[in-house]
């Protein structure tokens, strides 16, 4: 994949310290600037900002997609296989409740990928992938 500029996304959480703990200790992010109402995180080289909203876990999440109960409002990262497996092992060891457990889809095809979905403590859906053929990122089969 060609190096690209980092993206930024902001999302709501019900509790900033809880979100910070999850993203730093479970996902492996590094915390940047923070206040009682928000925290900036290095999410695999991208800037994500979690903002406190006391009802974040009850806000509309969008329409379900995929075969699992995944909200159309979700974000994540596309990782290399070693990073994907390390994250999957760390999350499994932490007994994270996956929406979609780490698995391989479309084995042997150009669309082959490793995938997992989970929710953070505020209910935000996260997707992590590893593409066997990274060149299919924007043009899957």
Domain ranges of the chain: 8-54+70-136
Res 65: pLDDT: 44
| 116 confidence band (pLDDT: 50, 70, 90) | very high
Residue from 131, 44, 37, 42 nearest 81 by CA: 131
**CB atoms near residue 123 (< 10 Å):** 15
Paired tokens of 87: 């994250």
Cα-flanking dihedrals φ and ψ of residue 42, to 5°?
Answer: -85, 105
Closest of 104, 8, 13, 11 to residue 52, by C-alpha: 13
Q: What does the pLDDT look like over 5-57, one tens digit per residue? A: 888 898 889 899 999 999 999 999 999 999 999 999 999 999 999 998 877 66
Residue 4 has pLDDT above 70, yes or no: yes
Question: Could you tell me the two tokens for 132?
Answer: 């066997």
- At residue 70, the pLDDT reads 59
Q: What is the pTM of this model?
A: 0.80
Rounded Cα–Cα distance for residues 99 and 120 (Å): 11
**CB–CB of 40/74 below 8 Å?**
no
Cβ pair 34, 49 in contact under 8 A: no
Looking at residue 91, its pLDDT comes to 97
**How do beta strands 70-71 and 74-78 pair?**
unpaired
Q: Express each pLDDT in 47-94 by its tens digit.
A: 999 998 877 666 555 544 455 555 557 899 999 999 999 999 999 999
* The pLDDT of residue 117: 92
CATH for 8-54+70-136 is 3.10.180.10
pLDDT at 111 over 80: yes
Q: For residue 5, what pLDDT is reported?
A: 80
């Amino acid at each position: 994949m060609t190096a690209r500029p980092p993206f930024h996304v902001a999302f709501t959480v019900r509790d900033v310290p809880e979100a910070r703990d999850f993203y730093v200790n479970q996902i492996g992010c590094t915390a940047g600037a923070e206040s009682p109402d928000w925290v900036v995180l290095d999410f695999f080289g991208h800037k994500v900002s979690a903002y406190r909203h006391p009802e974040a876990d009850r806000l509309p999440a969008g329409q379900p997609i995929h075969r699992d109960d995944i909200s159309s409002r979700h974000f994540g990262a596309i990782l290399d296989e070693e990073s994907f497996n390390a994250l999957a092992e760390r999350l499994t060891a932490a007994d994270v409740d996956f929406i979609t457990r780490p698995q391989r889809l479309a084995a042997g095809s150009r669309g082959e990928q490793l995938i997992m979905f989970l929710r953070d403590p505020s209910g935000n859906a996260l997707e992590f992938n590893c593409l066997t053929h990274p060149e299919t990122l924007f043009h899957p089969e």
